Amino acid sequence: MSRSEPVRLLILETSQNRAEELIVLLRTAGRATRAHYLESEADLNEKLKEQTWDLFVGRFEANGLSAELVIEQIRAQEKDIPVILIADDQDPASITAGMRLGALDVALDDDDERLTLIIERELGNLLNRRQRRRAEVELRETERRNQLLLDSSNAAIAYVHEGMHIYTNQTYAGLFGYEDPDDFTGIPIIDLISREDQNKFKGFLKSYDENDEDENTEEFTCVASDGSKIIASLSLSPAMYDGESCTQVIFRSMAEDNELEDRIKEISSQDLLTGLYNRTYFIEQLDGAVDSAAAGHQDYVLFYISLDNFARIRAEAGISNADLVLGDTAALIRGMVEETHVMARFADDVFTMLYKGSDKEAAGGLAEQIRKSVEGHMSEVSGKTYQLTVSIGLALITENSPTGEDVISRAHRASAGIEGGNGVNFYQTEQVKVGDDGKSLTSEKIKQLVREAIANNSFQLMYQPIISLHGDDDEQFEVLLRLADGDGNELNPGQFLPPAEDAGLLEKVDRWVILQSIKTLSAHRAKGSKARLFINITHRSMADSTFLPWVSVALKAARLPSDAIIFQMHENDATTYIKHATKFCQGLAQLHCKTSLNHFGCSLNPFNLLKHLTPDYVKLDGSFAQQIEESKEKQQELIDMVKSLQSKGVLTAISGVENPAVLSTLFVAGVNFIQGYYISPPLDGLDYDFASEDI
């Protein structure tokens, strides 16, 4: 098991105290755990069905449950769970007795050092088995895909062993005038070469065998089944087929070579599985369409066609069969679309289309036809039938449209907004409710408010204190951004940042916040303070190559030390744009600036991020502070997460602290800093007395 992943542990012990000691033992060894204390046979059966477990550690018998029964149940359910037993005494005979039951090893009583070594060994073995199983599955799927590619390839490919064909694809058979590739059974490859070139062919084979080159190519006159002559180039290269060493043979008709360059261009723009255009080509066409619409030449409608629940089809049918279903669906839709419209496979389970024209009614009608046809279509693969539905999001491309990326985002949101799937939805300008009277602001109005706030410095900055939980008097604040409309109604970032992104204003907003924050901090530090600010950064600035040089100049101009600002990324942004986030963190480190990861713990596997990023701070999402009172499991989850983070040398913080009852748990967990309304609401300035804070 990777050390960044918690060990899912089943424990059979005579007391919960001893079970806790085992968890502490693993934690001391650097292993976070998600443990369960078994109390009965029914409890065991329920937990085995509930999820995957990594390890069983326990006594020969406890709580009316025997290790023998546990091992029987694990075997009966065909679970790969290493079983490690703990003897009740120091008798070496217990090791033999336990291993006869089926345990992988037995630790003698109170020999925790050996138990730790056994656990580490078996977790390593488990990881190797799981990796091997994944590799075997991937190998089988790769072999199936390769076979499909061979069978459907436009190149004439065969495999030859000792001069005899052992495989030929349909194109190879067709080149020589045969209807069925099986017709080549028993035909030696030399029979395909004309008599006048057979000596040349033998010399070619001898040269290939002697030189042992990766690939040899030569031109020959070949003979088709009807006796006609074919001028073709022949390429030989070493290969494996069905586990047997052989030679790969590729014939290319010289008549086709004139078309080869055009064909290569065509293939480079195609998705090989569906025959549609690929993502790269489509994005090029989309950018051109946006430019054309902006110039007033031609409007378009972008179709974002998402296959509903395709992951379920892939799980049921397997990857190869699911690919066939996907290709069948692509062919169905392509057959309904005129050639003037550009259609592509945009992602694993997403098709996109550039519909030429701005007639919303006609585009919507075509989308509905596609939806109905897919819903009523049955794909037959390997003797089984599969039925799909699609969610189609539509977005207009007109002179007012933003970038191609933003148009895709709009269509995607329209598709994702179809509740239950199997529908058609046009992107609509979003409206935001603000104020006590529920006043509505359109997206365009919010964009205008953002532009005016940047131009007139009318954004409002708030500063919320971040307090040390262990008595340090560090002065730290998070900078919070607010925007007001003309009537004084306040908008939070979640309401105005998405429209700002649509308008391409996020970088400008980030820079405005940083400049104003630096001015405020510089003035405050001039009074003798050593305050630091956490400033939130959007993904647009992370990807902006000019941002870090600009930050360096801004800090020097304000005569602030580099560590006075902690640049804070949202976990979602860092996960989605991990390459940009990694490069951004590295660049800040070179400037000696610190980084923080905000809202940590909400993604599926948040610790994966820390394999790529090295933040100085990690701020846990506020939901952790609000949930730890619910159960001991929630408390333990928080404790484990904090310990794991701190083992990586990261300072931890948590937001959303609104109840003093959670402080003791946060203290025990070892959280370094806390933030929330219990400490202080956001303030207009940096006037807060950290030294007098008594938590």
pLDDT, residue 576, reads 78
Residue 624's nearest CA partner among 655, 592, 646, 582 is 655
Whether domain 269-426 has CATH 3.40.50.620: the reply is no
pLDDT of residue 266 exceeding 80, the answer is no
**pLDDT tens string 141-167:** 888 888 888 888 888 999 998 888 889
Q: Return the bridge partners of 305, or none.
A: 351, 392
Q: In what order do the strands lie in the sheet with 156-161?
A: 164-168, 156-161, 244-253, 229-241, 216-223
Is there a contact between 466 and 657 (Cβ–Cβ < 8 Å)?
A: no
Residue 547's nearest CA partner among 527, 531, 565 is 565
Residue for token pair 């052992």: 166
Structure tokens at 169: 């694809």
pLDDT of residue 302 exceeding 80, the answer is yes
pLDDT, residue 434, reads 66
**Euclidean distance between CA atoms 548 and 546, whole angstroms:** 6
* 412 burial level (CB within 10 Å; 0-12, 13-18, 19+): buried
Is there a contact between 69 and 90 (Cβ–Cβ < 8 Å)?
A: no
Q: Which residues contact 366 (CB under 8 A, 6 or more apart)?
A: 336, 337, 355
- Kindly state the percentage of the chain with pLDDT values over 70: 94
pLDDT, residue 581, reads 92
Q: What is the mean pLDDT of residues 37-42?
A: 90
SS3 string of 652-668?
EEECCCCCHHHHHHHHH
> What's the whole-number average pLDDT of the chain?
87
Instruction: Give the E-state strand segments of 382-426 in sequence order.
Output: 384-387, 390-397, 423-426
SS3 helix, strand, coil % of the chain, rounded to 5? 45, 25, 30
Q: Which residues contact 320 (CB under 8 A, 6 or more apart)?
A: 141, 144, 145, 148
Residue for token pair 């085995």: 48
Q: What angle (nearest 5°) sits at the alpha carbon of residue 631, between those of residues 628 and 632?
A: 90
Q: pLDDT: is 406 or 475 the higher one?
A: 475
Give the confidence band of 444 by pLDDT, cuts at 50, 70, 90.
confident
pLDDT, residue 4, reads 63
Residue 371's nearest CA partner among 296, 442, 325, 423 is 423
- Kindly state the percentage of the chain with pLDDT values over 90: 41
pLDDT of residue 693 exceeding 60, the answer is no
pLDDT, residue 619, reads 93
Q: Return the bridge partners of 430, or none.
A: none
Q: What angle (nearest 5°) sits at the alpha carbon of residue 203, between those of residues 198 and 205?
A: 95
The Cα-based distances of 163 to 174, 247, 248, 441, 667 in angstroms read 20, 9, 11, 76, 76
Dihedral of alpha carbons 534, 607, 8, 316, sign = positive
pLDDT, residue 695, reads 57
Q: What is the mean pLDDT of residues 353-373?
A: 93
Q: Where are the domains of the chain?
A: 7-133, 154-262, 269-426, 439-674
What letter would DSSP give residue 216? E
pLDDT, residue 473, reads 76
Is there a contact between 624 and 600 (Cβ–Cβ < 8 Å)?
A: no
Residue 306's nearest CA partner among 195, 217, 189, 389 is 389
Give the confidence band of 674 by pLDDT, cuts at 50, 70, 90.
very high
pLDDT of residue 264 exceeding 60, the answer is no
> Which backbone phi and psi does 350 adopt, to 5 degrees?
-135, 130
pLDDT of residue 389 exceeding 90, the answer is yes
Give the confidence band of 492 by pLDDT, cuts at 50, 70, 90.
confident
Q: What is the mean pLDDT of residues 384-405?
A: 87
pLDDT, residue 377, reads 93
**Euclidean distance between CA atoms 342 and 344, whole angstroms:** 7
pLDDT, residue 476, reads 94
pLDDT of residue 694 exceeding 60, the answer is no
Is there a contact between 690 and 658 (Cβ–Cβ < 8 Å)?
A: no
Q: What is the mean pLDDT of residues 13-23?
A: 87
- Tell me the range of 201-210, 250-259, 558-567, 594-603 where mean pLDDT is highest: 558-567
User: Exposure pattern of 508-521 as b/e (b: 16+ CB <10 Å)?
Assistant: bbbbbbbebbbebb
Ramachandran category for residue 284: left, alpha or beta (phi over 0 → left; psi -120 to 50 → alpha): alpha
**Euclidean distance between CA atoms 226 and 245, whole angstroms:** 32
Strands 350-356 and 460-465: unpaired
Is there a contact between 479 and 531 (Cβ–Cβ < 8 Å)?
A: no
Residues making up the chain, counted from first to last: 695
Q: Which fold has domain 439-674?
A: TIM Barrel (3.20.20)
Residue type, 331: A
pLDDT of residue 215 exceeding 70, the answer is no
Give the confidence band of 416 by pLDDT, cuts at 50, 70, 90.
confident
pTM of the model: 0.46
pLDDT of residue 374 exceeding 90, the answer is yes
**pLDDT tens string 305-345:** 999 888 888 878 888 888 899 999 999 999 999 989 999 99
Residue 657's nearest CA partner among 461, 477, 467 is 467
Contacts 24+ apart (CB under 8 A), 604-607: 606/571, 607/4, 607/5, 607/644
Contacts 24+ apart (CB under 8 A), 313-318: 313/386, 313/388, 316/386, 317/381, 317/382, 317/384, 317/386, 318/141
**Euclidean distance between CA atoms 585 and 594, whole angstroms:** 8
**pLDDT tens string 527-538:** 888 999 999 999
Structure tokens at 373: 């046809």
Is there a contact between 493 and 479 (Cβ–Cβ < 8 Å)?
A: no
pLDDT of residue 606 exceeding 60, the answer is yes
pLDDT, residue 70, reads 93
pLDDT of residue 110 exceeding 90, the answer is no
**Euclidean distance between CA atoms 497 and 507, whole angstroms:** 11
Is there a contact between 425 and 431 (Cβ–Cβ < 8 Å)?
A: no
Give the confidence band of 429 by pLDDT, cuts at 50, 70, 90.
low
Among 34-43, 81-90, 289-298, the range scoring the smallest mean pLDDT is 289-298
**Euclidean distance between CA atoms 517 and 564, whole angstroms:** 11
Q: Return the bridge partners of 106, or none.
A: 85
User: Exposure pattern of 267-283 as b/e (b: 16+ CB <10 Å)?
Assistant: eebbbebbebbbeebbb
Q: Which fold has domain 154-262?
A: Beta-Lactamase (3.30.450)
7-133: CATH architecture: 3-Layer(aba) Sandwich (3.40)
**pLDDT tens string 23-34:** 888 887 878 888
**Euclidean distance between CA atoms 253 and 283, whole angstroms:** 34
pLDDT of residue 553 exceeding 80, the answer is yes
pLDDT of residue 213 exceeding 70, the answer is no
Dihedral of alpha carbons 317, 319, 324, 329, sign = positive
